[in-house]
Amino acid sequence: MGNLTPSSGRTWVVDEEDEDVDVIDVPSANSLPATEPKKSGRPRGSLGRVNDEHDLTLSDFSFMRAVVQGIDPKKAALRYLHGKVYLSDAACAEHERRLRVLLQRTIKVFFDESQKSQALRHYDALMAPVVQAVAMGPSLEDFAQRFDSDMYSERELQELYAEEYGDTLDQGQDAGGSIKSKLAALNWLAERVALKPDPLDPIERWIELSLVSKLRAQGVISIGNLMDWVNLQGRSFYLRVKGLGVTRARRLALWLMDNEDYIGNRLNRRIRFQAASEETALAVLDVVDVRPRDLSVQVMGIVPLEVFAWPVSLMGLDGVFRSQGPNTLGVSNDKEAIEAWFATLANTASIDTQVSYQRAIERLVLWAIVERRTPLSSLFTAHFLEFREFLRSPPLHWCTRFPTVKTSPDWRPLRGSMKEASIQQTFSAISSLFAALNACGYLTANAVSSVRTSTKRDLRMDVMRSFSEEDLLSIGATLREMPDGPHKRRLRAIILLLQTGGFRRQEAISLRYGDLSPVRSDNRLTNIWVAKFVGKGGVERQVPIQAETYEALQDHYRDRQALMTHSAPTRTGAVKPAPLAAYADVPYAETPLIGVLDDRFSSGRAASEGDTPGHARVKANLEGGLSYGRVHSILKAFFVKVSERNDLPEGHADFLKASAHWMRHTFGHQAMIASKGDLAAIQQILGHADISTTGIYLKADLASRVAVVQGIKGAV
């Protein structure tokens, strides 16, 4: 098939991870036997099948096709055989000869008399010498070196080659010498005799035996399981399997990519692009669909609710619990009912609550319609109990471990098994939906009302996730050691606002300077300030602000004012605009208490190519407030610095796990001591709807219990 000239002598054998090297003797081309030699075992480092060495797979045909088209056999073997042959000229040539022998034997056995003659003609065309062109341009491989490896697919390279040099890749139109005829022969034979993987095939039929037990320990039984498992684990899936290093993981990923049509699932794009490295990316990128999902196209499957094609038969037009009378929402099917309910949330719930509720209902809809094929208005209580168990142990094809934007084909509704607290939140949203649909007359009963997801003790706040006085000293010392500047002063304002005011993170980023006002005592204004705002649950709150915290906020505001007006010269002498010039016209009262220190997102940004949240569309930041996620990342980075101190006290907090909410819990403990247990006052400051929630801080305080035990006299 190719133009290889095997050489005799010794051949290097690359081990599984290309670290160990052995030497074997390879006979010369002239000494090769007429039939395939018997092997003592599988080549080291292979990822091929183990059931029958005499089967020809699609990978074997891909290797032969690449050699016919002039690809270097070693590169073709590395790309398509995934290390199944020894990577030397002689070994590749011997493997090529072996495939010819296997193909001839297969033709004699596989085809009946009516097709055998046609099969043999294709075989003869495949084996015939290549007719050389009178005027040849460079080889396709040399031509491809002009371009980056991921710029063109193999087909596009051939088209570019033909435009420049003519169809010299296919000189000679006789059936015996044409490259086209050889490729046609390969395609015809591969379609009929190549062994193809099936998603139900056990992994031992295709995967190296040394990996089978390790993969089975991960719950991978079939090839379909393997694809789902690799997608769920992400790019570092090989870390979960001892002995499966980077090299073999790439080979495995490439094999999965090559057989996606037969496995019935696609490898996610992150793993796909990682596998398509420079030395293995032969005709890989042309099969990658990098287009974002069109949100105007409706799809039936595990897709975001925005693009979900709801089958008419499952819209609940005749649902079991559908009311036959009118309803106050004025809707006629389950889809309209959900959309109408979402619309009512806009006036009664915060943005975070709306997002949380929409996510919960999205999961229920996809489960009911795609998995159960049951309309929402026909769900019984038993169905909701089944859904609860589903969330506790979802199938792999419902999950992805890495965050993606909703336009990505890799998007999935879940990140793995849900914790009880998350399941409780999901069912809280579902209960709200079905209670509302029952109350408005759309449903005659609420089948989810009796479903309980966990006991109350499972959902109690862990108020001990907080900082002790010694921890606070370490936090203060770390902050003081930081270089002075706007970023340090902003961090100080964030810490003091959360720790001395007990604000939730969302409340802190929503506050504006206009929400602050001086406290009036005896009809006189004082230098004590209070923040007035509407908090969680739509309850109006008034929280006093310490003088030190207020001064830190003013320092941060002065920094931002300077960044709005002060420009600086660049290295070229040009004047660089002020970093926050875009916010110079924002009134003081509308300025966020915690703001950005540059204008990168002031004008927004369209969605860019990619699947991660970093590629998603960014809305314009019109007032310059710091985002919810940015506050989190700032604090997490700071707590990492605190954790690296050498003088942390014994029994210190786990700063690597600390978050903004630890500051709120710290305030709760400090307020309990400062108020001598005034639960009513602390409840008002923290904004708890139930005073029993505030009482958790009192119960967590061991001071009184320690005093009791200390007062007991020992017997000896």
What pLDDT shows up at residue 612?
Answer: 58
Question: How far apart, in Å, are the Cα atoms of 633 and each of 115, 485, 491, 639, 640?
Answer: 67, 19, 11, 10, 11
Examine the pLDDT at 6 and tell me if it is beyond 70. no
Q: Look at residue 694 and tell me if it is in a domain.
A: yes
- Whether 372 is in a domain gets the answer yes
> Higher pLDDT residue, 152 or 533?
533
* Confidence band of 646 (pLDDT split at 50, 70, 90): very high
Amino acid of residue 611: D
Compute CA 360 distance to the chain's CA centroid, rounded to the nearest angstrom: 19
Under 8 Å between Cβ of 101 and 149: no
Least confident of 116-130, 404-418, 473-487, 638-652: 116-130
- Pair 371, 364: CB distance under 8 Å: no
Residues 251 and 178 in one domain: no
Q: Which of 110-114, 119-123, 161-165, 214-218 has the lowest mean pLDDT?
A: 161-165
Q: 685 with 556, same domain?
A: yes
Distance between CA atoms of residues 22 and 576, nearest Å: 62
Confidence of residue 30 (pLDDT cuts 50, 70, 90): very low
Q: Tell me, what's the pLDDT at 320?
A: 93
Give a yes or no: residue 404 inside a domain.
Answer: yes
Judgement on whether residues 539 and 558 belong to the same structural domain of the protein: yes
Q: For residues 462 and 292, which has the higher predicted lDDT (pLDDT)?
A: 462
Number of neighbours of residue 441 by Cβ within 10 angstroms: 13
Query: Is residue 357 scored above 80 in pLDDT?
Result: yes
**Minimum mean pLDDT range among 24-28, 43-47, 168-172, 584-588:** 24-28
The pLDDT value given to residue 598? 83
What's residue 521's pLDDT? 76
pLDDT of 364 reads 96
Dihedrals phi, psi of 529, to nearest 5 degrees: -110, 155
Query: Given pLDDT bands bounded at 50, 70 and 90, which one contains residue 388?
Result: very high
pLDDT value at residue 549: 93
Q: How far apart are CA 413 and CA 141, in angstroms?
A: 43
Q: How many domains does the chain have?
A: 4
Residues 6+ apart with CB under 8 A from 661: 465, 504, 505
Please tell me which of 235-249, 560-574, 657-671, 676-690 the model is most confident about, judged by mean pLDDT: 657-671
Residue 189 has pLDDT above 90, yes or no: no
In contact, 286 and 251? CB cutoff 8 Å: no
Same domain, 427 and 312: yes
Domain end: 193, 227, 247, which one?
A: 193
Among 5-9, 183-187, 199-203, the range scoring the smallest mean pLDDT is: 5-9
Domain of 211, in residue numbers: 203-286
Please say whether the beta carbons of 50 and 91 come within 8 A. no
Assign residue 659 the CATH number of its domain. Answer: 1.10.443.10
Task: Name the percent of the chain lying above pLDDT 70.
Answer: 70
Report whether pLDDT(96) > 80: no
Measure the CA angle with vertex 633, ends 629 and 635; round to 5°.
115
* Residue 477 in this model has a pLDDT that exceeds 90: yes
Shared domain for 207 and 189, answered yes or no, is no
- The band of 234, judged by pLDDT with boundaries at 50, 70 and 90, is confident
Same domain, 107 and 230: no
Residue of 616, 596, 589 lying closest to 605 (CA atoms): 616
User: Do 186 and 211 fall into the same domain?
Assistant: no
In a domain, 222, yes or no: yes
Q: Considering the domain boundaries, does residue 300 fall inside one?
A: no
| One domain for residues 548 and 631 | yes
- Lowest mean pLDDT segment, chosen from 162-166, 299-303, 381-385: 162-166
- 31: which 2 tokens? 């000494």
Please give the average per-residue pLDDT across 461-467, as a whole number: 73
Q: Which tens digit of pLDDT belongs to each residue from 432-461? A: 999 999 999 999 999 998 887 654 444 445
Task: Answer whether residue 155 is part of any domain.
Answer: no
Q: Is 242 in the same domain as 366?
A: no
Interval 196-208 mean pLDDT: 81
pTM of the model: 0.53
- Which of the four pLDDT bands, split at 50, 70 and 90, describes residue 133? very low
Residues 522 and 431 in one domain: no
Q: Are 685 and 543 in contact (CB under 8 A)?
A: yes
DSSP string covering 344-358: HHTTTS-HHHHHHHH
Which stretch of 23-27, 93-97, 543-547 has the lowest confidence by average pLDDT? 23-27
pLDDT tens-digit series, residues 522-531: 778 777 889 9
Confidence of residue 497 (pLDDT cuts 50, 70, 90): very high
91-106 burial: b if 16+ Cβ within 10 Å, else e: bbbbbbbbbbbbbeeb
- pLDDT band at residue 400 under the 50/70/90 scheme: confident
Residue 638 is encoded by which pair of tokens? 């700071």
In angstroms, the CA 491 to CA 484 distance is 11
360 CB neighbour count, 10 Å cutoff? 22
Residue 139 lies in a domain: no
Q: Is 487 found in the same domain as 439? A: no
**What's the mean pLDDT in 186-215?**
80
Same domain for 549 and 636, yes or no, is yes
Q: pLDDT tens digit string along 108-132?
A: 667 776 777 777 877 777 777 655 4
Is residue 592 over pLDDT 70?
A: yes
Q: Taking the mean position of all CA atoms in its chain, how far away is CA 283?
A: 25
Residue 396 lies in a domain: yes
Query: Percent of the chain at pLDDT above 90?
Result: 24
Output DSSP code: residue 521.
E
Average pLDDT, the chain: 75
